[in-house]
Structure 1
Amino acid sequence: MSVTVASERPSDLHDLLARSIPREFVHKSVESEVLLTGWFPVGPDRFEVTARWPVDHAFYGPVNGHHDPLLIAETVRQTVPLLSHAAYGVPFGHRQTWSAFRYEIDPAALVATGGPAEVGLDIRCSDVVRRAGRFVSVRMDVEMTVNGARLGWVETAFSDMSPAVYPRLRGAYADIDEAVRRSVPLAPPMPPGRVARSRFADVVLAPTDSPLRTELRVDHSHPFLFDHPVDHAPGMLLLEAARQATHVAAGDRPVIASAMDVVFTQYVEFDARCWIQAAMEDGAAGRVRVDAEQNGVSAFRAVVTTTPLRPSRRAGKIPGPRSCRGR
């Protein structure tokens, strides 16, 4: 395999990625937002990836004494472009798109200890599809550990699109500046405490007349969910919306999203309102179904399983709502 990046030879690139992961390989604009710390091929379509979760992250910081479970999603999301470029020879400029994402974890492994968490990922890739020698799609099965203890498993699938294919798929929406210009006005946020957040700036849902029906807030200025310009709502924004909608459904009970099963069915555009509907599943304690609808069509579906938590007095407890939008 070969990877086109600067003038690095493949062996030099392997050594480089074993020591650190440049932000370009995980499609981040800010180096400090790179969670991955190393990459090691250990067999055909099998890889070990290491990561570090900061305890003081401004958006994915601990809550109720536990690391944010969406760090799991962001960590795996970063492995998608990393393995695409480093393992499967995808050139920079290609786009990777999620189609499905699932995880199930033991919340006890997410207990924050007051310092960064060392994370290990054992990744097996299957259903690798190539057309005319070009990497097209793959399924990833991931076993994760945190500080040496088993955390749980993740399954995801994604596809790769070249700079020639993506604009044909997106049509007029491929123009990022125009897509952003047509964005609907940003609706006022829900109180942060209702969605397990401490700042209004981090609330991605707006209230409606129906308690469990909310509107997706697409704030292009958010420094973490919109780390770089995009032409549609990012997958991590939709996962955050599903998680926040789950907290709304849970009411005042502190819970953690111990499992999530998500299917992405279409892009969520900026020029129409997207409605997030949450409902407790009948006969399934702690399970919340979240549906996103735009222009009368389902955009993504999620089933979130929650585990009750006791409020913690340690760092990371949710403070009361604040009126400022400081970051």
Structure 2
Amino acid sequence: MKNLLLLTHNSELNLAAYRQLGINIFTEESITPQDYASIEIMLGWKPDISQKVLTVSNGSLKWLQTISAGVDYLPLKTLKEKQVIVSNVSGVHAAPISQTVLLYALYFMRDLPQVLESSAQHHWEPQADFGDAFVLNETTWTIFGTGHIGSELARLLQAFHAKTIGVNRTGHKAAHFDDTFAQDDWRHAVTKSDVLVNIMPLTPQTTHFFDKTFFDALHNTYLFINVGRGKSVDTKALIEALNQQKLQHAALDVFEEEPLPSDNALWQMKNVLITPHYSAQTKHQGQAWDKIFLPNLKQFMRDGTVPINQINMQNGY
């Protein structure tokens, strides 16, 4: 019998299947300080209680399964020192995030801001006023991050006959990209792009990757989208790039500071679409998490290993 601390509330999680494997389940409500040292597995992370389980004297924690793709918010140094296996749910967000990115792009390309404003005023806009509307097959995209989400987005874009350029750490080839570049060679990747998308994990190398130097290299680029990590973007530099027309539009789901402060200048910009870190949301998240967690749990119960989505603790993703 192994003890699992469940730190997420989702009715679709198959708790019966966990118990059939010999798992005793604790929740945030049921666990007591006397139980901390007995927890071997954590599903989810809540700082207050998770830190106590991680650092308790004579603790037993062997494996942490997150319900996120990014793991930059975790105390990775401590987890590494204590030899705790960390795995994420990378891949389950590919469909909702990539489809949301297409929504962002089409919102601007099909002149939805103008359509919605006219609709709110009960005003029938003449067709001639939508002369700037265009379509996906006329665009070139540079996607920073060629993993599950980036690859799925590129696949969808290729179905619309858009050109896809990928940027990753080494420049290695990736599925559904017409071309790829290394992060250090990003200038060549963005030269002729209409849309730039950040889906990179947050590491020391990608923190403020999109800074003043990056934005100053652009020339009236149509759209910048961030569905990766908020701290990858220097917010001040982004606002300056929008004001200086280095960028025509931005669609932002993540921010350096969340919630985005109500007095932030981005709220006032008509050429900026802001969403509240929701692009990964989908109705059946629990089922999606279990497609990774259950196979991992079965293997862990057999031999203590985790075959799916184990984090490289050196790279941080």
TM-score (norm 2): 0.23
Highest Rg: 1 or 2? 2
Structure with bigger strand share is 1
TM-score (norm 1): 0.23
